[in-house]
Structures are given as structure tokens and as C-alpha cells.
Copies of this chain bind each other. A is one copy, B any other.
Amino acid sequence: MKEILKGHIVHAPALGQLEIIEDGYLVLEDGVIAGIYSQLPGEHADGKMHDYGDRLILQSFADMHLHAPQYPMLGMGMDLPLLDWLDTYTFPVEARFADTEYARRVYRRLANELITNGTTRVCMFSSLHTDATWVLMEELEKAGVTGFVGKVNMDRNGKEGVYQETTEESVSETLRWLEGCHFDHVKPIITPRFTPTCSDELMAQLGKIAAEKGLYVQSHLSENRAEMAWVLELHPDCKQYWESYHKFGQWKDHTVMAHCVHSDASERRAMREHNVVVAHCADSNINISSGVCPVRQMLDEGIWVTLGSDIAGGQQLPMYRVITTTIRSSKVRQMMDDWKTPFLTVPEGYYLGTTAGHKYFGGGFAVGDALHAVVVDDGNFTESTRPLSINERFERALYMMEQRNIISVWSAGRCVVGR
């Protein structure tokens, strides 16, 4: 089936680049981009037209790190130190997802909030619960959110009796979960919570499962200094945090590591050499007082950086807001670096929140890629003093848009919002 989207098309093909096709035509063949044109070629005149008029057609967003079961605790406990926050909020809240009916209600709403805000691809943590994780995957699938979800593994340093597995349970439940994952657009990813909550035995088993089944891995890395010291205490044979994943076969191509705020040059080199992906979470890093990640430096070194909302360490789900927060965070980093590192520009921030993430799933915004896009109606913004360029409207939309401005969302080639 041939479809055509007409409007002002904006996407970021590479870091710092913005491609704008004013009054452009995006031709889809069975959901896959067949071409983007300023003038519609005659051969495509027979396609089904979606005329979005004066609106902006933007590549949609990819949220590369968030905790689905922390959605109910958004905006709470922000004054607490990390460990109290985990103990008072995170673990008891996540434990609640043993109840699949509760999980169904919360995850349906989460999936809806993600997709209506234009997040069409995610790399997401669930809870320890196999059943609730299936519920989450099902709700994402139904809403049109695609990507990876991981049942979390944790056999130590959780909350015993409340929220922790035995090593055996963790492994057997992971295997049971993997067997039950039959979704078209939502796939499993191996998810040790982080080194301190997983015994060596569990880490070894998870590495083995990932290798045998050809699965990616996601976890946390070097979020704060106390955590880093703790990891080295637990693994005296490791010189750096990353090695605690590496020695169990989990530090490999496409492993997603959230935060990496304090990763030094040597740890960053290990990322680049193994094609490990950084999920930078600007809001969370400031809310929980972790630090300010040196994103510019990582990019200069050729490291693959993506963005995550990291709810509920982050306080907001919409990735357009996470992008502008990321830009502000890079300005803070610039100040901290004595103005030596340039801040992230709007096109750069947008690239990190879109293309850099979409790449993880093997897609982009080029011919041959399944379409992931949002259509933004900026008509209700304040009346400007003069006609604005598409570039200006794009920047303003990133800073100003709200859910209601997103009138249509395309995910994996399908129109899933505003049908």
C-alpha cells in the first residue's frame, strides 16, 4: 500500500545536521519510506494522501532508558538521598506490580502517555515480575510503542521479603519470561538491575542467556560515586565499574548503559571499543544529584549517546522536554568545564533524542526505514511578530509543544495516533 504524508518535514540525519523539506512529500510503501521529495513525482500520484498542510512532520522520539513500574511515583521523594529514595519509594512501588491487574491499569496509561507524546521506540526496565512484564509488553504493543523491554533481575541488596528474588528464581523466571515473549514490535532485553543487586552467579547466568539467545543487555553504569565505590568493593578484581559487566559477557555490542555520568577516559574507551550505548538522562542526574554527564566529550570521542527520560528519577516522560533539558544540562556542563566544551545546539539535542536512538533498533528516517514520525500542529502558539522560518518553528515546537500539539503519530510505518 502506498501512502503520502504532506507537510513541512524535519529530521536530523546526523549529529548537528537538520534536513528541512518545506511543503514536502514523504512517500511510504507498506509503511517503509520510499522517498522524501519537494515535488511529488508523478509515479506516486496514486498514493493515499495524508495532507497535514502547514504542520510539521518530525521524526518521532526514542526513549532509551525508563522504568515503567516507577510511573506511579513520578514527582515524589525528590528531596531524598538515592538510597532512601530507593527504599521508601522505588522498591515498594515496584513490588506492587506483583498485582497484574494493577499493572494492567498503570501500564495501559503509561503506553498511552508515551505514544501520544510521540515516543515510538523505547528501551525500558520493567519490574522483577514475569507476568507484569508481559502485561507491559502487551500494552506497549497495543498502543503502538515499539522496542525492548526487560524483566528486571535482582537477587541481592533489594528489599528482602518485599522485593528481591533468589538466584534460582531470577534465572528460571527470566527463562519463563523469554519463552512467553511473542510480540511483533516489543522484544525482550536482558536486564540486570545493576551490579550491586546481582550476585556473580546470576550475572554469569544472564550473560550466558544473552549469548545463547542472541539478546541485547541493558543496565546502569557510573551514576554516582558512592555506587561506583560499592561496585569495586563487591568486585575487587575489577579496576572499573564496566569490567563487572564485561567479565560476565554483558559488555558488548548494543549494550545500553544508563547514566555514565562519572565514566572516566578509560571507561569511555571501553564503551567505544565495544559499541556500548550511553543512555544519558539529564533530568534524573540533576534530580538525584548524581552529576552532569560530559556529553559533548563523549560525542567528540565517538561514543554512541542516546537519551532517556529515566522516570521516575526523571520527572517527565515527554522526550521533547527531555531534549531541551539535555540542552540546558549541556550548558551547565559548559559552565562546569570553564566554558571549554561547547553546549549542545537544538539540532544536536534533537538528533540525540531521535536518530541516535532509532539507530539502536536498526532504523532511521531514510529510504528503506519504517516510518517513525509525529505531526505537530503549532497553530495555537502565541502569534509571532513576523512570519517564521520552518527552522524557527521547529525550534519553538521543541521548546513549547505539549501533548495536544501532537495531532498524529506514526510508529513502525503505521499511523497509531490520529488515525
Residues of B within 8 A of A39 (CB): none
Q: Are B399 and A346 in contact (CB under 8 A)?
A: no
Asked if A75 meets B396 with Cβ closer than 8 Å, knowing A96-B385, A328-B286, A385-B92, the reply is yes
Residues of B within 8 A of A75 (CB): 395-400
Q: Are A336 and B336 in contact (CB under 8 A)?
A: yes
Query: Nearest-CB distance from A6 to chain B (Å)?
Result: 25
- Stretch of A66-74, A150-158, A209-217, A232-240 on the interface side: A66-74
A109 to B383, CA, bound (A): 10
Residues of B within 8 A of A229 (CB): none
Give the contacting residue for A335; candidates B110, B292, B385; CB below 8 A: B292
A275 at the interface (CB under 8 A from B): no
Give the contacting residue for A106; candidates B79, B331, B334, B383; CB below 8 A: B383
Asked if A399 meets B315 with Cβ closer than 8 Å, knowing A96-B385, A383-B72, A384-B73, the reply is yes
A291 at the interface (CB under 8 A from B): yes
A30 to B327, CA, bound (A): 48
Asked if A78 meets B395 with Cβ closer than 8 Å, knowing A292-B335, A331-B287, the reply is yes
A382 at the interface (CB under 8 A from B): yes
Within 8 A of B (CB), among A351-398: 381-386, 388, 392, 395-398
A332 at the interface (CB under 8 A from B): yes
A162 at the interface (CB under 8 A from B): no
A324 at the interface (CB under 8 A from B): yes
Q: Are B331 and A382 in contact (CB under 8 A)?
A: no
A395 to B78, CA, bound (A): 8
Asked if A328 meets B74 with Cβ closer than 8 Å, knowing A346-B79, A385-B93, the reply is no
Asked if A324 meets B315 with Cβ closer than 8 Å, knowing A74-B382, A385-B93, A395-B75, the reply is yes
Give the contacting residue for A71; candidates B78, B287, B382; CB below 8 A: B382
Could you mark each residue 129-154 of chain A with 1 if its beta carbon is under 8 Å from any beta carbon of chain B, else 0? 00000000000000000000000000
Within 8 A of B (CB), among A64-93: 71-79, 92-93
Query: Nearest-CB distance from A74 to chain B (Å)?
Result: 6
Asked if A78 meets B332 with Cβ closer than 8 Å, knowing A72-B384, A384-B73, A399-B315, the reply is no
Give the contacting residue for A79; candidates B78, B283, B345; CB below 8 A: B345
Protomer copies: 2
Residues of B within 8 A of A71 (CB): 382
Within 8 A of B (CB), among A269-316: 283, 286-287, 289, 291-292, 315
Q: Are B324 and A385 in contact (CB under 8 A)?
A: no
Residues of B within 8 A of A61 (CB): none
Residues of B within 8 A of A398 (CB): 75
A125 at the interface (CB under 8 A from B): no
A343 at the interface (CB under 8 A from B): yes
A402 to B402, CA, bound (A): 10
Q: Are A286 and B395 in contact (CB under 8 A)?
A: no
A176 at the interface (CB under 8 A from B): no
A105 at the interface (CB under 8 A from B): yes
Q: Are A289 and B385 in contact (CB under 8 A)?
A: no
Q: Are A72 and B399 in contact (CB under 8 A)?
A: no
Could you mark each residue 95-110 of chain A with 1 if its beta carbon is under 8 Å from any beta carbon of chain B, else 0? 0100000100110011
A83 to B105, CA, bound (A): 51
Q: Are A343 and B289 in contact (CB under 8 A)?
A: yes
- 10 pairs of residues in contact across A and B, judged by CB atoms under 8 Å: A72-B383, A72-B384, A72-B385, A76-B395, A78-B324, A78-B346, A79-B395, A109-B382, A287-B331, A289-B343
Q: A residues within 8 Å of B by Cβ?
A: 71-79, 92-93, 96, 102, 105-106, 109-110, 283, 286-287, 289, 291-292, 315, 324, 327-328, 331-332, 334-336, 343, 345-346, 381-386, 388, 392, 395-400, 402
- Would you list the 3 A-B pairs with minimal beta carbon distance, nearest first? A75-B399, A96-B385, A75-B396
Known: A74-B400, A106-B382. 9 other contacts (CB 8 A): A72-B382, A72-B384, A76-B392, A76-B396, A76-B399, A79-B395, A332-B332, A336-B336, A402-B402
